[in-house]
Chain A
Amino acid sequence: MRTRLGTTALACAALLVAGCNGTSVTDDSAGGGEGQDGKGEITGKLQLTFWGGANRAAKTNAVADMFVKEHAGVTIDRQNADFGNYFNKLNIQASSKTLPCVMQLQGRQLNDYTKRKVLLPLDPMIESGAIKIDDIPKEVVDTGRGPDGKLYFLPYGAAYDAVGVNETLATQAGVGLPPDNYTWAQYTDWMTRASAKLPKGTFAAGSRGGLPNFFIAYQLANGKQLFTEDGKLGFTKESLVEYWTMWEKLRKAGTSMGADAQADEPEGAEQGFIAQGRLLTDSIPGNALTPASGTLATKGGGQKLTTLPMPSGPSGGGNAMFTSGFAIPTNCDNVPTAAAFIDFFTNDPEAGALFKSDNGAATNQKVLQAQLDDPELPELKKRELALYQQIVAKKPPTILYPPGYQATFESTFTRSYEEIAFGKKTVEQAAESFFTEANAGLGG
């Protein structure tokens, strides 16, 4: 009796151990062949991961549903998270080699992954015809390339950062919009003039000296290089001091919001201070015009928002192109289905019509043209896409972000400016420590 009991317990224990070892998170092995060229049977399980809020998720899921409908035997397991946490989650999945077969990436983080060789090059899949790039401009495709020149993600949406302006507040303050091809000096002067005439509780600008996107635009307009070949800081300490001094002047004059108030800003462009009518101008992603305007419309007074290109400088415009797209990790064992999905998401006209350039303008020119030709395209979306075309016409540069960009550069930049704004460091001291910290964490 006792023996039997012991055996049963042993069996239970064995089961437990098996349970521990058997829970593999990615089980993509159900279908498809080995093909690293993306050729093979399109079937089985696929995991898809992307960032974004509820709206983006609904649209992405709709496209995934459409793909499943067209390919019997495919099931897609979807995961999404907000932008900030998305990459932490991805890192953990990467460490346990359980990255989802279709994973969304941007140039900002691409080289964190190319450096560690966890992504499959897509070039063989393009050669085999599994993924098509015929209708995507070459320079846009190139934004998905790593330092070795191979393509690691296929950009499906091209976004840009814009300067958002609350037109209603600008008119009330009697300053109108900044002139065409306005410079940084004109931009800050315009803010200063508006500042005195804005209603109580609103500011001309946020406390934005710590916003990396604005700084990158400033450097581009001034023709400075952002990163060196080996991934270290490519601009000078003096230019950073100059930049932060400019913001400090605005803050001290009360033109921009206090740094403590800035910390209260809710996350996401949809809820940001400019969307709430508390700022005259701020940097917002170009494709945030629609959602931010939606929020602003609820704040009364019929307030309207518009977007402008980033301020210009001696080297021309300050805009850069940011693309988002899907990559396939080396641990994926259903490459054909993953490749087919990426091709579908990027190139299928119906999928494009469903996704509506939600994460930047569709890179597939036919998909984009179909949206532009659509008489029912909302006015704001039209503005987003028109500004995109205006920026693209100027051939904006693509920045090759070094490994560690997001984790080191962005967080250190923001924190260093906080230290200035809260009086813990002078501009010079903060620039000094920023250079030391950022260079220690970047590249390599």
Chain B
Amino acid sequence: MKSSRTGREGLTAYVFLSPWLIGIVLLTLGPMLYSAYLAFTNYDLLSPPRWIGLDNFRRMFTADPRYLSSVRVTLVYVAVSVPLLLIVSMALALLLNKGIRFLSGYRALFYLPSLMGASVAIAVLWRQIFGGSGLVNQVLGVFGIERGSWVGNPGTALWTIVTLNLWAFGATMIIFLAGLRQVPVELHEAAAVDGAGPIRRFFSVTLPLMTPLIFFNLLLDTIHAFQAFTGAFVVSRGSGGPADSTLFYTLYLYQQGFAELKMGYASAMAWALVIVLAAFTGFLFLTAKRWVYYGDER
């Protein structure tokens, strides 16, 4: 009697879960599994996929110089933009945590760019600002510095996208700010009594207590950076140019899949990215024991 009741309850629970379950199975897991299959095929979207084993993966590393250059561009982007974003967000959070007046006003103001963050409209604006006769060059012109287009030059195009990403620091900053407010005042007072200056207090009190949030933001921002697409797509008008300088991994994947109709190859690329992200996440969790400090642990 009892067990049938539990069974019924279980069933009811699943029925109520079903909208989500159906969503994840049909719209996420299903397509993912299918793309895992496609990664081993030659599939041009319009005719049936043909099994080719590991050829797609082999091609990636041995016969496709553009793939390797997309990996290079993405790694540079991740390595520069993520630390920069963390440092800037932390610095601003520290500033805003000073108990200044109109704090909530500033908080909203700083968060505003994140709301518009990676949108197409902002990326279009970016093209204008960093164009040959854009705002940046007009300001530089006042100081007598003449420069060509920033988005049109392969030496600088990637950096315009790094700043575009940096501009949307709000989400990371808000999380840091929330963390800073949790740092017990007594610890700061005790450290101050012991003669620690503000810098020493930051490194010895604030920073260790913030490590769980740094870990969280580092993980999220890195995954986000690996998947960056919109900025590069709009700034380079979908080409990844000039001269492949903004050919992000995801942008190249999109080109291969939807413009060149190599959906099998694009699927293989997607899975290679999943594997790299999984490895990175695993690595981060492994090292976490060494540097992430949870206050309640002993």
Contact = CB atoms under 8 A, between A and B. Distances in A.
Interface of A: 2-3, 5-6, 9-10, 12-13, 16-17, 20, 84-85, 87-88, 91-92, 94-95, 112-113, 116-118, 258-264, 267, 404, 407-408, 411, 414-415, 418-419, 422, 424, 433, 437, 441
B152 A95 contact: no
Nearest to A7: B15
A167 to B, nearest CB: 25
Contact of B46 (A12, A13, A95, A441): A95
B153 interface: yes
A422 B154 contact: yes
Contacts of A414: 239, 241
Contact of B242 (A9, A87, A263, A411): A263
Interface residues of B, number: 37
A91 B126 CA distance: 29
B258 interface: yes
Given A13-B18, A260-B153, A116 B242 contact: no
Contacts of A16: 18-19, 22
A101 B241 CA distance: 35
Given A13-B22, A260-B132, A263-B242, A92 B258 contact: yes
Nearest to B237: A267
Contacts of B18: 9-10, 12-13, 16
Contacts of B281: none
Interface in B245-272: 255, 258-261, 263
Interface string B146-166: 001101111000000000000
A424 B239 contact: no
Nearest to A201: B133
Interface of B: 8, 11-12, 15-16, 18-19, 22, 26, 44-47, 65-66, 131-133, 148-149, 151-154, 237-239, 241-244, 255, 258-261, 263
18 contacts: A6-B12, A9-B18, A10-B15, A13-B15, A16-B18, A17-B22, A87-B259, A88-B258, A91-B261, A95-B46, A116-B46, A259-B242, A264-B132, A407-B259, A414-B239, A415-B243, A415-B244, A424-B243
A13 B255 CA distance: 37
B26 A20 contact: yes
A424 B245 CA distance: 11
Contacts of A407: 255, 259-261
A264 B129 CA distance: 11
Nearest to A265: B152
Given A2-B8, A16-B19, A17-B26, 15 more contacts: A2-B12, A3-B8, A6-B8, A9-B15, A12-B18, A13-B22, A20-B22, A85-B238, A94-B46, A95-B263, A261-B152, A411-B255, A415-B243, A422-B154, A437-B66
A217 B153 CA distance: 28
B110 to A, nearest CB: 31
A437 B65 CA distance: 10
B15 A6 contact: yes
B151 to A, nearest CB: 6
Given A9-B15, A13-B19, A422 B44 contact: no
